[in-house]
Structure 1
């Protein structure tokens, strides 16, 4: 019997997401005043933002653009050596775009392009957030004090992309990044309609589902975690009071069991709030859970049907 392949553990976690917005001032107000993120810096057309428990300088890079969508998705590696290993693998796959000098929040990075056209970034050297005096916490093991503002988003949790070919993107992330699949959706036709992958002990750090418009390289949503389900219920009221469009929820997903609330920020991008007490992926030999087409037609965990826009709305708009 052949020996099992040694699992790759070169990635530490999802680092940050660059989001494009055609309405930079309105989007910034949403993320700071309503979602509760904190601004940590500005450079060029970008504002750098973070949740109050994120240890890095930023987890969201909000960039002014002519349209909405995602600029790049970044993962931090566990070491410089791990970064070099992943770069070598990505270059051998013909997916490398080359090195950058870094960003306001981190050092040099290597970029690669997925089969669907999304840009991914890997880095190790990072800038830890240093809270100014008025944001210093009472407890030294916390990055900054609790903001008590808006929805009080705690940390970046995951993101979801729209892709034309789910299988191709899954294989790219598995081989190039060493990520593992935890759950999938396989249609009756045999087509893979969705995949959820992790590089940590969370059940997923990234998900991607088939773009029903047939487009490539689009963005589905970014997710920030809050402490509890009650925080999500309160967030629904906060969004209501501020005229933010609530697309669906609060409710519970069947896939991954996330308690969710989805809204659209002013630039058109979808944003999710989820409870921070998500399921953990502790088994090193986890077998992916496969959901059938019939099972997904039942809707979410408690029977709420998936709203049609969830399968068609993405950014940039088609």
Structure 2
């Protein structure tokens, strides 16, 4: 009998609205190296994308609309998990909005949505179509598909960064109600206020990153790469395509323990390609790494 990891067990997708859907789609496919999933008729105003190393149908959804972070999707095991989450959300004084299979996104199972206090909207779902790896399910060679070579072609969606004017409230809901762990956190020098946190339900250290900001919005979408050499090569390809990298370029970030490069697409979406990360575990003895404002330069350098 397999071990049942109850509650949220994976980061499923991030869903964004953009004014210029064609430009965002073109960048994601031609420059970033994602793959489009055919959701069938009636999906002209929405694009479903995934990485070549992902077996599920999509991990990145773009749709036409006023620019915003629409929602972040997290997978749970079954409807029992949805019912348990609904009860915990209600006990916290909030209401979860339920949706049937296929009502919200293509080939997505039953789900519920909740807006995190001072945070983004999250959708918990039971299942999603699994067309399988593009390199095959039987004895794959795991080489980047030929059609994607010359682009970053990331492996999988690794985390989503969001900003909030009240990080402590958002972090408290994510940990106390939805069961996220904290792998790293940044506080004021006196330790009285938490300014930022990396939260996880999986073992890669962060599924959602919370940063301080003027309002609730997307900070960045992060995709995983193999190692530092990959990141440096990707930076060359991005520059070749005319992409402006963030000023500090590829860098080792101690906060999160990743080697990363950040950049924007023509629609203003901020992307991160990262390798590494800190192993995390939902265990009572797991302790977060702590940073303060005084060592912020070290944390992000």
CA distance in 1, matches of 2:98, 2:108: 13
Contact 1:36 1:147 in 2 (8 A): no
Aligned residue for 1:31, secondary structure, equals helix
Provide Cα deviations, 1:62-87, integer angstroms capped at 9, x if missing partner: 111232x3110010013332222112
Provide Cα deviations, 1:4-28, integer angstroms capped at 9, x if missing partner: xxxx841111000001222211111
Contact 1:130 1:143 in 2 (8 A): no
The CA deviation at 1:125 is 2.2
Q: After superposition, where does 1:1-318 map in structure 2 within 5 Å?
A: 9-42=6-39, 43-67=43-67, 69-101=68-100, 102=102, 103-130=105-132, 135-137=134-136, 140=138, 146-148=144-146, 149=148, 150-188=151-189, 190-211=192-213, 214-215=214-215, 217-247=216-246, 248-275=248-275, 277-282=276-281, 284=283, 285-298=285-298, 300=300, 304=301
Contact 1:19 1:61 in 2 (8 A): yes
CA distance in 2, matches of 1:96, 1:184: 28
Contact 2:255 2:299 in 1 (8 A): no
The CA deviation at 1:91 is 2.2
Contact 1:54 1:143 in 2 (8 A): no
Aligned residue for 1:261, secondary structure, equals strand
Structure 2 spans left out of the alignment, 5+ residues: none
Aligned residue for 1:232, secondary structure, equals helix
CA distance in 2, matches of 1:183, 1:31: 30
CA distance in 2, matches of 1:136, 1:183: 35
Aligned residue for 1:222, secondary structure, equals strand
The CA deviation at 1:110 is 0.1
Contact 2:79 2:110 in 1 (8 A): no
- Could you state the TM-score of these two structures normalised by the residue count of structure 1? 0.84
Q: Mark the CA change 1:123 to 1:16 in structure 2 (over 3 Å): closer, same or farther.
A: same
Q: How many residues align structurally?
A: 285
CA distance in 2, matches of 1:122, 1:112: 9
Q: Mark the CA change 1:281 to 1:173 in structure 2 (over 3 Å): closer, same or farther.
A: same
Give me the CA root mean square deviation: 2.1
CA distance in 1, matches of 2:80, 2:28: 35
Contact 2:135 2:145 in 1 (8 A): no
Q: Mark the CA change 1:232 to 1:96 in structure 2 (over 3 Å): closer, same or farther.
A: same
Provide Cα deviations, 1:147-205, integer angstroms capped at 9, x if missing partner: 34111111010011001111101111112211111111001362211011110112111
Structure 1 spans left out of the alignment, 5+ residues: 1-7, 305-318
CA distance in 1, matches of 2:261, 2:77: 32
Contact 2:114 2:122 in 1 (8 A): yes
